[in-house]
Structure 1
Amino acid sequence: MSATQAPASERRRGERRAKRRPEPPEESWFGAIGVTDTQLGDSGGMDDAESRYEAGLASSANAAADSRFLTRQARRIISSGQTAFDRIYRVFLGARAALGVALILTVVVAFFFGARPTLPVILVSVGYAVLALSMWLLPRFNRAVHPHELARLRGPQWLATIGADIVCFTSLHLLSPGGSTFNYVALLVLPVLMAGVLTPRLQALATAAFVALALLGSAWASVLSGGDATALMTQAGLAGSGLFVITVLAGELAGRLAREELTAKGSLELARQQAQLNRLVIEEMQDGVLVVDRRGRVRAANPAARRLLAPTGMCRPAPFQLRGVEAWNELVKTVERAFNEAVWPEAGRDVVLEFSPGELRTLRVRIRFTRRTDSQAGEEFCVLLMEDVRNMQARTRQEKLAAMGRVSAGIAHEIRNPLAAIAQANALLSEDATTPSQRQLTQMVNDNVERLKRIVDDVMEVAPGSVVDARLIDASATVREACQGWAQGAGVSLGAGSAVSIDIAQDGLAAVFDPDHLRRVLINLLDNGHRHSSKASASVQVRLAAPDESTVRLSVASDGPPIPPDVERYLFEPFFSTRSRGTGLGLYICRELCERYGASIDYRLRTPGDATRNEFNVVMRRQPATAQETAAAAS
C-alpha cells in the first residue's frame, strides 16, 4: 500500500468509527424539546414596577388569566405552576399508591371470601404498597424530578418506579397459581405507560420488550407444566403487542403535550411583551384614554386622561366611578349617548367640563367600541380618546407658525443690510443737523432703527436651525441672579415688603437649560407680571421647586387682572400684543426657547381665593448633578 493510500484508508476507518460512535442519551419528550419549566426567567419577565392597569401581570398565574393571546388549555397549563413532566410524574406516583392500596384490599377481600392467596403474593403486594405509598407521601421523595433522572436504566428514580413495578407485577403474575382468578397481567400496563411518557423512545420500547419477554417466558413455563401452548403463547403475544402499541401511542401523546406547553410558553412571552408595549404606549400618549363600561365605571385611565379630568394635578387612578362628580356630568351624558347610539362621529365631539364657575375645559372626545366575545348584540366597553381643544388649536397654530418662522427668518436676514444702510445714513445726517427739529427727526429715525434691530435679533434668535447648547445648570443660582439683575434694572428693591417675592425651595436644583436663555425667559415673565400687577407687597411671586424627581418647575405669578379667554388663546403667538409699542415676540420667544431644551411653558388661572391668580409655569427637565457640575454651572 502506498504512502498516499494509507492516510486515506485511515481516514475512512475513522469516519466509520465516528458513525458507529453512540450519541449522548436522549431525554424524554419534555427534556428533548426543552420544556423544563413553565416559569420564565428574569430576562423574560416584566419589570418589577408593574403598570397600574393590570397589577400582578408579572406572575404567571395572573398573567395567563389576563392574556388574550392564549387558548384556555394553554392558560391552564401555564397557570398550574408546574412543569408538564412533573405533573405527569406525580400523577403516576398517585396511581401507584392507589394501586398498592388496591392490592392490599384485594388480599383482604380474598381472605374474606375464602380464596387465600399464597404467602409470596401477600408479601409482594404489601411490599409494593409500602414502596408506592412512601414515594407518594414522604417529603424525601416528594420533590421535582427532571427528565434526565428517568432517562438512565440504572438511575435510582427509574429503579424505584418503573423497575420496581415491572419486578413486582411480573412476580405477582408468576407467583399466582395457574387456576387463580386474579389476573395480574393488566397491571404491567402501568410501568409500560409510564416508560412511554417519561422516558426516551428507545428506552420505552426496551421496557415494553422486556415485559413482553417476561409474559412469553411465563406462558412457556405454563406450557411446560401441561398448559395449552397455542392459547397461552397467543395470549402472551397479543398482550406483548398491545404493550408495544401503548408505548408508541403514549410517546406520541407526551410529545404533543410537550409541544403544546412549549407553544404556550412562547405565546405567554409574546403576550407579556405585547401587553407591556401597549401599556407603555398608552401611558406615554399625549391623548387621554379612558375605558368605560355601561355602568359608568372607568376600568382604565392613562395619566393624560387623569390630568384632563382634574382642574389641577391628576384624578385618582382607575378603577373609579365616572358618575357622582358634578364636573363630569357632561362626560357621563356623552358616554350614555354613545352606548345608546352605538355609533360616534369619526372626528369626535366637543365636551365641556366645568370645574368651577368660569373655569372650563373643552375636550374633543372620540369614542370607539369593543364588542362582547360571546354575543354580537350590544357593546361591552367604550374607549374614549380625549384631547384638550386648546392643545389642538395650539398644535395647528404651531404648524402655521413654523412655516411663518422660516419665512420671517429669511425676511429678517434680508432686512439687516438695508437697515444698516439707513442707520449709517442717519448718522451722517445727524452730523449736519443744526436745528432742534432736524436733531429730533434724526433721533426719531435712530430710535426706530434700534427697535427694528431688536425685532430682527429676536426673530433670528428663534429661527429654525439654530444650534442648541443644552447643558446641566444650577437653576437655583441662575434664577436668583436673574431676579437680582432684573430688580436693579427695573428699580425694584428686593427683600421684606418688596413687590417681588422670591421663593426657591432648595439650592443646587439642576435643570437642563442654557443659563442665558433661562434669564431671558424669566426677565420677560417678570416684566409682564410687574407691569400688570398692583405693585403692592408680594404682588409678583417667583417660585422654584422640584415637584418630582424628573422635573423642575419655575412659576411667576402676579395679582393683575385675569387675562381674558379671547386673549389667552393668542398669548404665545408672534406679533400679538395688547400694547401699542409692544412687538408681540416676548412670550413667543419664551416658548420657543423652552421647547429647545425639552421644557414647556403655559399659563393658567388660579382659583379665585389666590391673590396672585395669573401664573406662568416653566417646567424643565431635571437631572441629578454632581458637585463638580453644580460648581461649574454656578461659576
Structure 2
Amino acid sequence: MAYVKARASTAVRLIVLPGRETTEVSAAVPAATERSRHTSLRFFNLFRLVLAGLFVVAGRDLGLGDEAPLVFRIVALGYLGAAFGLGFREVAARFGTPRVTALQIVIDVVALSLIMWASGGYSSGIPVLIMVVLAGAGLVAEGRLVLFFAALATIAVLIENAWRLVVGGRPVDFLQVGIFCTGFFGIAIVARLLASRAQAQAALAAERGDALAQQQALNERIIRDMEDGVIVAGDNGLVLQSNPQAAILLGMDGSGVGALEGVRLVDIDPAFDTLMGQRAAEYRLLRLGPGGRLLRCRVVCGEPGSVAAGDSLIYFTDFEDIQRELQQIKLAALGRLTASMAHEIRNPLSAVSQAAELLREEKRSEMQARLIRIINDNAQRIERMIRDVLALGRREQAQPEALPLAEFVSEVIDARVFRDPAERELYRVDIDPGLSFAIDRAHLHQILDNLLANARRYCSGTAAAVHLQAVALAGERVALHVRDDGPGLDAAQRRHLFEPFFTSHAKGTGLGLYIARELAEANDATLELAASTCGADFVLAGHQRP
C-alpha cells in the first residue's frame, strides 16, 4: 500500500532492527560493487576484441606496421587471440578475476607498445589507445595496480623512443613523449577516482535499496496486522487500496490485502456518501457495511507526500470493542462496590432472618404466617444475590482438577432432586464414564446448578425434558451440553443473555449466567449458547486434563 506506507514510514524507522539491517546491507554492498566491476569488464573485453580485430583486418590500411609488417601481424594476431581467450568467464572463475584482469592489461600495454614500435613511434597515435586502456584499467583494477599499469606504459613508451634514438639514430621529441607519459598517470588516477566514486554510489544505492525493501516489508506487515481498518478512496468513491482489517470490520471478505479494491464505497454502504461528503478530521460513529458493526470513522483528505490530491484516507475503529472494554471496566468497579455492599447488607439480613424465625415459634394468626413467609422469601433472595456477588471475587481462586464428568453430574442432580425424587424423571444423562473435565469442583457445581435451574424453570416438565450430553472434542477437550425443550430465546435475549443483571424471570437476580461464564473462563473453559431449533442449548467446553 504505497499511500499508507508513506504515512507509516516514520514509525517504521523506529522499529527496524539495526543489527539485522547492518548485516544484510554489508552483504549487499560487495555484491553491488562486484556487479559494477563485472559490467565494466564485459565492455572492456568487447573493446579489446574490436580493437584487435581492427588491427588484424584493417591495420595495414590504416598505416600501421609500416616499419615492421611481420612483427605487426604477429602481435596483432596474438593480441586478438589473447583478448578472445581471456575474455571467457570460465577463465576468470578458474584463475581468479583480479589475476586475469591484471594479465589482460599487461598484455594490452605490451601489445600496443610493440605495435607503436612497428608503426613509427608515438606519431602513429598508439599512445592515445594506451590512454584508453589505462582509463579502462582504472575502472576495473584495484588499488595501486592502476599506478603500476601507468608506470609500465610509461616505461614501454620511453624504452621505445630511447631505442629509436640510440639504434635508429632518428630524432625524438621527448617533450611530447613526456606529455604522453604524464597523461598516462593522470588518466589512470582520474579513472580510478571516478571508479571509486561510482562504486561508493553503487554501494550506497544498494544500502538504501536494501533498507527500503526492509521498510516496505515491515510496513506491509504492520498494515496487515493493525487492528484499525484503513481505506484509500479516490475522488469518485472507488476503493484504491485497503488492509484486511477494513474488510473484516465492514463485514466483507478479509482474506488479504486489497480485498475491497475496485469496489465503490456506496455499494458497500450508502452511508459512505454522507461520510465522504463531510470530510473532516473529527471521528464519527456509524454502522457501516453488511455486518452493521458500530465503527468510529475518520476521513482525511489528500495531503502532499501521503495521499494523492483528491484521494482520501478513511480510518475505522471497532467501537463495539471499545464499548466492551469500557463495560468490563465498569463491571470491575461495580464488582468492588457490590462486594463491599454485600458484606454490609449481610449483617442486618441475618438479624431479619433470625427475627422471622422467632416470630414463627410464637402463636400466630394466618396473616402473621404470610408475613413471615414473605420475610423469609425475600431474605433468601437477598442471600442468593449476596452469594452470587461474592462469587465474583473468587474467580481468580480456581483450582482445576480432572473431575469424572458422569459421576459429578449425577451428584449434582441427586442434590437437586433430594426433596422431590420424582423430579429425577426430568433429567436424561448421556455421558461416557471415561470422560473427565478439568475445572474447580466448586465452580463446576455452581455452573451446573445454575444451568439446571434455568433448564428446569423453562422446560415442559415432561420426562427427559432436560438432556445432559458430553461430547469428546479434538485436542483432549470435551463439551458438556445442557439442553431443554422449552420455548427457547429470541435474538434480543440471546444478545444480552450473559450480561450482568439481565433476567427474564421475576425473581431472578440476573447474575447467574454472567457468573457462570466468569467461572468457566477462570478455569480456561468457555460457556456459550449454541444454536438450536427447540429450547436452549448451553455448551460448557474445556480440557479433560488440567
Question: Which TM bucket (shorter chain)?
Answer: 0.7 to 0.9
Partner SS state of residue 364, structure 1: strand
Once the two structures are overlaid, the 10-residue window that deviates more, 542-551 or 560-569, is: 542-551
Correspondence for 2:362: 433
Is residue 346 of structure 1 aligned with residue 274 of structure 2? no
Q: Within 5 Å, which residues of 2 pair with 1:434-453?
A: 434=363, 445-446=375-376, 448-453=378-383
Question: 1 or 2, which has the higher helix percentage?
Answer: 2
Q: Does structure 1 retain, via aligned residues, the 8 Å contact 2:466–2:483?
A: yes
Q: CA deviation at 1:318?
A: 5.9
Q: CA deviation at 1:526?
A: 3.6
Distance of aligned partners of 1:521 and 1:375 in 2 relative to their CA distance in 1, 3 Å threshold: closer
Distance of aligned partners of 1:299 and 1:574 in 2 relative to their CA distance in 1, 3 Å threshold: closer
Correspondence for 2:169: none
Correspondence for 1:454: 384
CA distance in structure 2 between the aligned counterparts of 1:515 and 1:305, rounded to whole angstroms: 43
Q: CA deviation at 1:88?
A: 1.7
CA distance in structure 2 between the aligned counterparts of 1:479 and 1:323, rounded to whole angstroms: 54
Q: CA deviation at 1:172?
A: 1.9
Correspondence for 2:339: 409
Correspondence for 2:87: 133
Aligned partner of 2:244 among 285, 301, 306: 301
Q: Deviations over 1:436-483 (max 9, x none)?
A: 8677766665555444333222111103xx462456655xx6654554
Q: Deviations over 1:14-59 (max 9, x none)?
A: xxxxxxxxxxxxxxxxxxxxxxxxxxxxxxxxxxxxxxx99xxxxx
Correspondence for 2:458: 532
Correspondence for 2:100: 160
Q: Does structure 2 retain, via aligned residues, the 8 Å contact 1:290–1:385?
A: no
Aligned AA for 2:286? R
Q: Does structure 2 retain, via aligned residues, the 8 Å contact 1:554–1:618?
A: yes
Is residue 334 of structure 1 aligned with residue 279 of structure 2? no
Q: CA deviation at 1:587?
A: 1.8
Distance of aligned partners of 1:235 and 1:569 in 2 relative to their CA distance in 1, 3 Å threshold: same
- Can you give the 5+ residue segments of structure 1 that lack an aligned partner in the other structure? 1-52, 55-62, 144-154, 355-360
Is residue 86 of structure 1 aligned with residue 34 of structure 2? yes
Is residue 259 of structure 1 aligned with residue 207 of structure 2? no
Aligned partner of 1:107 among 48, 55, 61: 55
Q: Deviations over 1:312-369 (max 9, x none)?
A: xx876565469999xx988432345545654586122224748xxxxxx553352445
Question: How many aligned positions are there?
Answer: 501
Partner SS state of residue 572, structure 1: coil
Aligned partner of 1:173 among 105, 112, 125: 112
CA distance in structure 2 between the aligned counterparts of 1:560 and 1:290, rounded to whole angstroms: 47
Q: CA deviation at 1:111?
A: 5.2
Distance of aligned partners of 1:320 and 1:274 in 2 relative to their CA distance in 1, 3 Å threshold: closer
Distance of aligned partners of 1:308 and 1:268 in 2 relative to their CA distance in 1, 3 Å threshold: closer
CA distance in structure 2 between the aligned counterparts of 1:601 and 1:585, rounded to whole angstroms: 14
TM-score normalised by the chain length of structure 2? 0.72
Distance of aligned partners of 1:317 and 1:175 in 2 relative to their CA distance in 1, 3 Å threshold: closer
CA distance in structure 1 between the aligned counterparts of 2:478 and 2:181, rounded to whole angstroms: 87
Q: CA deviation at 1:409?
A: 0.6
What is the percentage of aligned positions where both structures have the same residue?
23
Distance of aligned partners of 1:332 and 1:455 in 2 relative to their CA distance in 1, 3 Å threshold: closer
What's the Cα RMSD here? 4.9
Distance of aligned partners of 1:532 and 1:460 in 2 relative to their CA distance in 1, 3 Å threshold: same
Q: Does structure 1 retain, via aligned residues, the 8 Å contact 2:64–2:124?
A: no
Partner SS state of residue 468, structure 1: helix
Distance of aligned partners of 1:570 and 1:87 in 2 relative to their CA distance in 1, 3 Å threshold: same
Correspondence for 1:23: none
Q: Does structure 1 retain, via aligned residues, the 8 Å contact 2:400–2:441?
A: no
Q: CA deviation at 1:386?
A: 4.2
Partner SS state of residue 363, structure 1: strand
Aligned partner of 1:95 among 17, 35, 43: 43
Aligned AA for 1:194? V
Q: Does structure 1 retain, via aligned residues, the 8 Å contact 2:134–2:150?
A: no
Is residue 190 of structure 1 aligned with residue 136 of structure 2? yes
CA distance in structure 2 between the aligned counterparts of 1:481 and 1:416, rounded to whole angstroms: 35
CA distance in structure 2 between the aligned counterparts of 1:121 and 1:331, rounded to whole angstroms: 80
Q: CA deviation at 1:239?
A: 2.5
Correspondence for 1:250: 195
Q: CA deviation at 1:131?
A: 3.5
Q: Does structure 1 retain, via aligned residues, the 8 Å contact 2:137–2:188?
A: no
Q: Deviations over 1:555-594 (max 9, x none)?
A: 6555543535665565334444322222222122124334
Q: Does structure 1 retain, via aligned residues, the 8 Å contact 2:406–2:435?
A: no
- Can you give the 5+ residue segments of structure 2 that lack an aligned partner in the other structure? 14-20, 66-71, 166-171
Aligned AA for 2:159? A
